[in-house]
Chains A and B, each alone.
Chain A
Amino acid sequence: MTSISLRDDAPASAAVPPAAPRAPARSLLRRLLANGGVRIGGVLLAAMLLLAVAAPWLGTIDPNAMDPANSHLPPGARAEFTTLAGDSFDRFFPLGTDSMGRDLWSRTAYGARISLSVGVAVALGSVAFGLVVGMVAGYFRRLDGVIMRVMDGMMAIPGILFAIVLVAVWRPSLLTVILAIVVPETPRVARLVRSVVLSVREEPYVEAAVALDTPTWKLMLRHILPNTVAPLIVQGTFICAAAMLVEAVMSFLGIGLPSEVPTWGNIMSEGRTHFTSHPSTVLLPGLFLALTVLAVNMLGDGLRDALDPKFKARGG
């Protein structure tokens, strides 16, 4: 959650790989798959993605269907479920039910959709914004001072706090939650991109392109942008993991998405009041969240080792 602003500023990433020689795609894939963390993380993440995409077909019912008569069923219970509309059916509850008698397996499966889409959307969003800001700051030296001071100011506000305050101001919805997490993450990406641009702009091939009167937009796209790809993939992965945590924290605190939306944080938040009598309501969705974040982090570690051989050599 808290981990939002941690790793990207660690000294490990202070030295950005300056224009690593581009490896052929196949050998890169082989190097990636040679990493045990990538294999485990990849399989775990694939399972979670499947859970999210195939949620309607995995033996789930409407995640908001409730039957107060069946509240707090233990995991693995079987019961007669009667919806408020009066339909009745026999059902097996793999994860049990919550205090309103909603099926926790269905809520958890649909919750995967929210977590993963927030993670991916925030990663893409902050990489996109950070890329633009960082390229402009790194290339147009006159704007650099102003832009980076603003970024420093944004970074001085602790990330989760910033996101919480933004959601409070904007009113929670999926889009505002995503944007609220994107805003504090953007300066970190911008800083990374700027440092790559600064190191690349002194390279002879950039000087040659400038001497040949290459238009600025072309120079940026053809010569500078490709150098940012590898560090951004790594950074984006870690942002994805951090964003899922922040979203869950916001839901958990009752500040994020409205409580009827089945997010892992909301399920845990609902279970909180009955934790002493029914700990599984909190612990099981928590396990899903932890496994997903773990999978993404393992993937990120592996990607960093594969894309930035120098990081490993440095003892990372």
Chain B
Amino acid sequence: MLHFLLRRGLATAPVLLIVAVIVFLLLRMTPGDPAAAIAGDAASAQDIARIRAQLGLDASIVTQFVHWLGQVLRGDLGYSFFYRMRVTDLIGQRLEPTLSVAAVTVVLTVLIAVPLGVLAASRRGGRLDRFIMGASVLGFSVPVFVAGYVMIWLFSMQLGWLPSQGYQRIGDGVGPWLRHLALPCVTLAVMYAALIARVTRAAVSEALTEDYVRTARAKGIAEWRMLLRHALANAAVPIATVIGLSVAGLIGGVVVTETIYAIPGLGQLTVDAVLSRDYPLIQAITLFFSLVYVVVNLLVDLSYLLLDPRIRY
């Protein structure tokens, strides 16, 4: 187990290194001189030259990369051009809303999608199955921002049930926190539920063709019990895998959702950073999200141990 952790952890190192190279090169590819960008419009040629030297921009690109990577590894991701503060502090400030949106969305998605997928698999080929699958194609075809505005229009403007803008800290009470998260999270969950319901249906359908299911049926086990204990339990690994992989899409979705619902999280910070061409911030956010994606998928790999006792690392 420890051995596996170590090996799997080490295997992610080259992936993260490549991510770092890509992110570093992205900044290099920007048109114009970063030193001039930092110095601002009123800077003299001497100012720019001084900043160039300060940033080490006159060294070779490999030296620059090694230097930058060293800083990143020490947790120093530089200063935001726009906010004039450490980007790590900025990211820290914006973490809570984004984590809240992501966590509630994942929980909601699993609660909706897994039962629907199991239901569809158990009625495979039937009317209910076709309805659920049809709805799922619809679900992941509707763009997040379209779904978002339909929700605002319906639940906020027409019915007046839920707030459509802003975020409340969880520290100020769970009730208001959930009320503000309801619309953004349902919006995001529509798409993920569609995807995960499909995968659940496929995995459970496959498990249902196995011999142990026939044996269980022959023993006269209740159908729901068979579905949960035998079919779903054996379908858990592919479902967990997709949940892990879909985190990448979730991050993209969060960027859009936070913009629609005016949630001051990392997604909105990303859009602001891109619009103001705040390159150190863009770099840091990209690195951060990639790290999250890699770590989540590492955890998913570990969850196989819990989900499937046949798997031993």
Contact = CB atoms under 8 A, between A and B. Distances in A.
Are A and B bound to each other? Answer: yes
Interface of A: 1-7, 9-12, 37, 149-150, 152-162, 164-171, 241, 245, 248-249, 252-255, 268, 275-276, 279, 282-283, 286-287, 289-290, 293-294, 297-298, 301, 314-316
B191 interface: yes
B209 interface: yes
Interface stretch (B78-86, B91-99, B199-207): B199-207
Given A2-B249, A252-B145, A293-B143, A171 B19 contact: no
B139 to A, nearest CB: 10
User: Which 6 residue pairs of A and B lie closest in terms of their CB atoms, listed nearest first?
Assistant: A153-B18, A315-B205, A160-B252, A286-B146, A294-B141, A158-B248
B195 interface: yes
B242 interface: yes
Contact of A153 (B21, B137, B202): B21
Given A6-B242, A283-B146, 6 more contacts: A12-B202, A154-B18, A157-B293, A254-B275, A275-B152, A283-B150
B216 to A, nearest CB: 18
B299 interface: no
Classify the interface of chain A: helix, strand, loop or mixed.
Answer: helix
B46 interface: no
A158 B140 CA distance: 17
B249 A290 contact: no
Nearest to B17: A153
Nearest to A287: B146
Contacts of B157: 276, 279
A204 B140 CA distance: 41
Contact of B18 (A37, A149, A287): A149
Given A7-B195, A149-B15, A156 B294 contact: yes
A286 B153 CA distance: 13
A290 B252 contact: no
Contact of A154 (B22, B29, B137, B201): B22
B147 to A, nearest CB: 9
B282 A165 contact: yes
Nearest to B130: A36
B256 interface: yes
A5 B245 contact: yes
B59 interface: no
Contacts of A168: 274, 277, 282
B257 to A, nearest CB: 9
B143 A289 contact: yes
B26 A158 contact: no
Given A157-B19, A254-B275, A11 B199 contact: yes
B246 interface: yes
Given A10-B195, A168-B282, A253-B256, A289 B249 contact: no
30 contacts: A2-B143, A3-B140, A3-B249, A5-B246, A6-B245, A7-B140, A10-B198, A12-B198, A153-B14, A155-B248, A156-B18, A157-B19, A157-B22, A158-B248, A158-B290, A160-B249, A161-B286, A165-B26, A169-B30, A248-B145, A253-B256, A276-B157, A279-B157, A283-B146, A286-B150, A290-B141, A290-B142, A290-B146, A294-B142, A298-B137
Contacts of B153: 275, 279, 283
A144 to B, nearest CB: 14
Contact of A253 (B15, B146, B199, B271): B271
B26 A169 contact: yes
Contact of A158 (B23, B149, B241, B251): B251
A171 B275 CA distance: 11
Contacts of A154: 18, 22
Contacts of B14: 149, 152-153
Interface string B10-41: 00001111110111001101110000000000
Nearest to A157: B290
Interface in B262-291: 270-271, 274-275, 277, 282, 285-286, 289-290
Contacts of B124: 315
Nearest to A297: B141
B238 interface: yes
Contacts of A249: 143-145, 252, 255-256
Q: Which of A37, A152, A169 counts the most chain B CB atoms within 10 A?
A: A169
A241 B191 CA distance: 14
Contacts of A282: 146, 149
B259 interface: yes
A289 B290 contact: no
Q: Which of B26, B124, B146, B153 counts the most chain A CB atoms within 10 A?
A: B146
B137 A253 contact: no
A171 B201 CA distance: 43
A1 B293 contact: no
A106 to B, nearest CB: 21
B275 A289 contact: no
B195 A2 contact: no
Contacts of A6: 140, 195, 242, 245-246, 248-249
Interface in B120-156: 121, 124, 137-138, 140-146, 149-150, 152-153
